[in-house]
Amino acid sequence: MITSIAASATESARGFDVDVPLTQADATAYRANGFDFCIRYVGRDAGDQGERELSGPEAQSIFAGGLALMVVQHPLDAGTPPTANLGTQYGQTGASYARDAGIPDRVNLWLDLEGLADNVSADAVVAYCNAWFAAVEKAGYTPGLYVGAGCGLDAHDLYYRLTTTHYWQSLSGSAPDVAVRGYQLKQSSSPQILPDQPIDLDIAMADALGGTAIWAQPAA
């Protein structure tokens, strides 16, 4: 078994996020194509961690293939209103699934925030996010936010009203900036490297305040 540890993401490291499981051969192929890390999904509700979500054996395969790893939780279903109670529930469940996959403490667990209805208030979104962050942090992980189109917040809200210090910018041209801090990961489109595995490219960087994403990597 490969033991992993939390570490700061390397400046300009190339990664990708993908919604299908990876084998060791897959991870090795991505590594050979110049990728340093990947981001894989976990479910929201108890019992919805299916075959497409991250598992312990998959995490081991990713490490064995030479990639670092972070975790993101699927976004709210379309039309589901964000609430603090739901944020707590989903944060606890996401952290539990990350723990089941063997992800060590302090690694970034990302909240995917996108596709909210236009009539959702910023107050409701802030309450949902901060409750999720608190639950994830209590479980030992470092919460972060994927900022997508229709996130319901502006640049001021993202920095001044949220408790996270880690932000990941989606490839959407309508995703707002983050006031003061900016982003630690930036997503863009990527050509498909392996069959049946559409991916998005993610570049790691220090934000304007020197903060970086935190990934899991094999221990030395």
Angstrom CA distances, 211 to 55, 201, 205, stand at 28, 20, 8
Residue 220: predicted pLDDT = 78
| Residue 54 and residue 42 in contact, taking contact as beta carbons nearer than 8 Å | yes
Measured CA to CA, the distance from residue 73 to residue 75 in angstroms comes to 6
Residue 23 above 90 pLDDT?
A: yes
Measured CA to CA, the distance from residue 26 to residue 197 in angstroms comes to 10
Residue 70: predicted pLDDT = 99
For residue 37, give the H/E element and its range.
strand 37-42
Q: State mean pLDDT over 19-45.
A: 97
Lookup result for tokens 């700061």: 8
Note the pLDDT tens digit of each residue in 193-216.
Answer: 999 999 999 999 999 999 999 999
Lookup result for tokens 């499981």: 21
- Can you tell me whether residue 189 is helix, strand or coil? strand
Confidence of residue 173 (pLDDT cuts 50, 70, 90): confident
Q: Please calculate the CA angle 192-174-154 and round it to the nearest 5 degrees.
A: 135
User: Domain range spanning residue 108?
Assistant: 4-218
Residue 49 above 80 pLDDT?
A: no
pTM above 0.75, yes or no: yes
Q: State mean pLDDT over 14-32.
A: 98
Measured CA to CA, the distance from residue 141 to residue 31 in angstroms comes to 26
Q: What is the mean pLDDT of the chain?
A: 96
Q: Are strands 68-73 and 108-113 parallel, antiparallel or unpaired?
A: parallel
Domains in the chain, number: 1
Quickly count: other Cβ atoms within 10 Å of residue 77's Cβ: 8
Confidence of residue 45 (pLDDT cuts 50, 70, 90): confident
Please state which of the ranges 4-8, 9-13, 138-142, 170-174 shows the lowest mean pLDDT. 170-174
Residue 191: predicted pLDDT = 87
* CA within 13 Å, CB half, 125: 25
Q: State mean pLDDT over 36-58.
A: 91
Note the pLDDT tens digit of each residue in 52-107.
Answer: 999 999 999 999 999 999 999 999 998 899 999 999 999 999 999 999 999 999 99
- Contacts of 83 by beta carbon, 8 Å cutoff, 6+ apart: 124, 127, 128
CATH of the domain at 181: 3.20.20.80
